[in-house]
A and B are shown apart, each in its own frame.
Chain A
Amino acid sequence: MHGPTELHILERLLEDNEQLASHNQEHFDELGLLAVNLMSAPGAGKTSLIKSTAKLMPADCPIAVIEGDMVGELDVERLREDNIPAYQISTGRACHLDAQMVAQLLHTTKLPDCKILFLENVGNLVCPAEFPLGEHLRIVLLSITEGDDKPIKYPVIFHNCDAVIFTKSDLLPFCKFSLEKAKDAISSLNPAVEFFVVSTISGDGLPQWRNWIVEKANKKISHLHIGL
């Protein structure tokens, strides 16, 4: 046999990430918590939302946070100011968290008792969509200042998520942002999605969002107990 040979195969790329993501989910299930991947463009308000949500959490629903950032520990420090347990993952050149980074943290760190673990992804509407981390819920934040055309421009992330939170709703009077148009665009990509409209400045919409996420956590946890 000389000359060129063709190997016909079918190998899925990024499959390693998916396998590790399922592995992470087993860890999350064992820990009895709801893991929530928070994704958005830079500065849409992920850290602010976590800080405000923590203040409204019932005492029996503690939270913890894994922070993904390319450099620095700024967000972790902001969370610790409020005594929210927070763990940094520096993604370096990668513009997203991946399942390997989360697995490594889970294997080396003992998380505190909590019912909800937020995974704050790197600010980016493209890459995080391609790397599941093992989360139970995928949530996308879209801030009012980004424009209502973003769902059409970044369809993949809006197609594959459980809820969209419109953030900075206090800025609606100052921006040409049509909630109706944005919701319509997202619904055509993802008809089952839940919507929330919140402001961490005025507090609008936060209780509804808090009720929803607490209910999801309680359901998840009672389900896990039945499973045991």
Chain B
Amino acid sequence: MHETAIAKAILDRITDRLNNLHHASNATAVEVRVGEFRNVDPESLSFAFDSLKKEYPTCIACALNLELIETRALCKDGRHEYKASADNAYRCPNCGSAIGTLVSGKELDITKIVVSQNK
């Protein structure tokens, strides 16, 4: 269950950001981009985030919005770009060759934090 470690990393990053702001603020939402080829289960991550955020006073009302990114690869032999999935055994549907390089699917980034200033 490394989703717990990831949820903690998200909350720690938000807290760092809020601490750098001039005004005391809370986070109301955070957007996280998760690649499909990253071994992260979105439901477990949301569950871990919602349990852990109670321990972070500035994040108690923070919603986690996940943007899921599909796995795309350039094939080894033809350099065709394709969606790599178990359906085609991760091979290129155009020429049958193996994964050369991944184009997307390894993302695990915070892209946005929505902040509201305390009254």
Contact = CB atoms under 8 A, between A and B. Distances in A.
A191 B98 contact: yes
A70 to B, nearest CB: 11
A11 B37 contact: no
B103 interface: no
A98 B113 CA distance: 27
B57 to A, nearest CB: 18
Contact of A7 (B1, B76, B108, B115): B115
B109 A13 contact: yes
B115 A4 contact: yes
A74 to B, nearest CB: 22
A136 B76 CA distance: 24
A189 interface: yes
A14 B9 contact: yes
Given A14-B9, A152-B89, A156-B39, A190 B99 contact: yes
B25 to A, nearest CB: 8
A12 B13 CA distance: 10
A159 to B, nearest CB: 7
A16 to B, nearest CB: 7
Interface string A102-123: 0000000000000000000000
B5 interface: yes
Contacts of B40: 130
Interface residues of A, number: 37
B110 A11 contact: yes
B99 A129 contact: no
Interface in A136-192: 152-153, 155-156, 159, 184-185, 187-191
Nearest to A187: B98
A3 interface: yes
Interface in B47-95: 76, 86, 89-91
B58 to A, nearest CB: 13
Contacts of A6: 112-115
A129 B99 CA distance: 18
Given A130-B38, A190-B99, A12 B117 contact: no
A158 to B, nearest CB: 9
B54 to A, nearest CB: 18
A189 B90 contact: yes
A225 interface: no
A4 B114 contact: yes
Contacts of B89: 152, 184-185, 188
Contacts of A202: none
A12 B108 contact: yes
4 closest cross-chain pairs (CB), A and B: A127-B2, A191-B98, A7-B113, A188-B98
Given A13-B108, A126-B39, A159-B102, 10 more contacts: A8-B112, A10-B109, A93-B4, A127-B2, A155-B37, A159-B99, A187-B98, A188-B90, A189-B90, A190-B99
Interface of A: 1-14, 16, 93-96, 98, 126-127, 129-131, 152-153, 155-156, 159, 184-185, 187-191
Interface of B: 1-2, 4-6, 9-10, 13, 17, 23, 25, 28, 32, 37-40, 76, 86, 89-91, 98-100, 102, 108-117
12 contacts: A4-B115, A4-B116, A5-B114, A7-B115, A8-B112, A9-B111, A9-B112, A11-B110, A12-B109, A13-B10, A16-B9, A188-B99
